[in-house]
Chains A and B, each alone.
Chain A
Amino acid sequence: AQTVTQSQPEMSVQEAETVTLSCTYDTSENNYYLFWYKQPPSRQMILVIRQEAYKQQNATENRFSVNFQKAAKSFSLKISDSQLGDTAMYFCAFTFMDSNYQLIWGAGTKLIIKP
């Protein structure tokens, strides 16, 4: 079965600190995409960062970067210089590069940035 596990239900850090959210997944497929989505209190699901499994280079988007370890099936998100606006639920997800496109989601990590 395809699964995504986020082992940290909740985390909190001080503003400006760096925080890493963990995600592991299980699949026998070789070609897939991995995502981190953010859901702030406004409820909107916002794409934070995307990684193609065939790329060895870790994706980065400004203060957000990932540590993708394909063999270990690990996909952690690092947020540098955290800001109050980063407070949100963060969901890890993946999907396969085939014709039946569905996202498989983790349960989420609640991240609180303290002033």
Chain B
Amino acid sequence: DSGVTQTPKHLITATGQRVTLRCSPRSGDLSVYWYQQSLDQGLQFLIQYYNGEERAKGNILERFSAQQFPDLHSELNLSSLELGDSALYFCASSLRGGANTGELFFGEGSRLTVL
């Protein structure tokens, strides 16, 4: 158990809809990262938050947004969903947002299926 909790584990929705994925980082971790993993693909970095502030942005679509709350949990909002958004969405956390041991702790992922 990594200590990172993601909900929901599975989600099925229709095109055009909006969903919210939730992540609770490990206790004490200040940084949260969101990744997208499409079928048989590697991980694509979406966005990083550190202590409530956006720290880095990757290949995140404008239809997607995220935030990190004062209690350090994070939410990833996906709107106007398309079939191609079907993927596994991972949240990961680390103690700090900068140079550290480099290790990320991953949640089990949220499997999104868009029909």
Contact = CB atoms under 8 A, between A and B. Distances in A.
Given A44-B108, A97-B99, A102 B42 contact: no
Interface of B: 2, 31, 33, 41-43, 45, 48, 55-56, 58, 88, 90, 92, 94, 97-104, 106, 108-109, 111
Contacts of B94: 101
A95 B102 contact: yes
B101 A50 contact: yes
Q: B-side binding surface: helix, strand, loop or mixed? A: loop
B55 A100 contact: yes
* Chain A residues touching B, range: 20 to 34
Interface in A5-36: 33, 35
Interface in A73-115: 91, 95, 97-103, 105-108
Contact of A43 (B33, B103, B108): B108
A98 B113 CA distance: 36
A35 to B, nearest CB: 7
Contact of A98 (B45, B98, B106): B98
A108 B88 CA distance: 15
B48 A102 contact: yes
Contacts of A35: 102-103
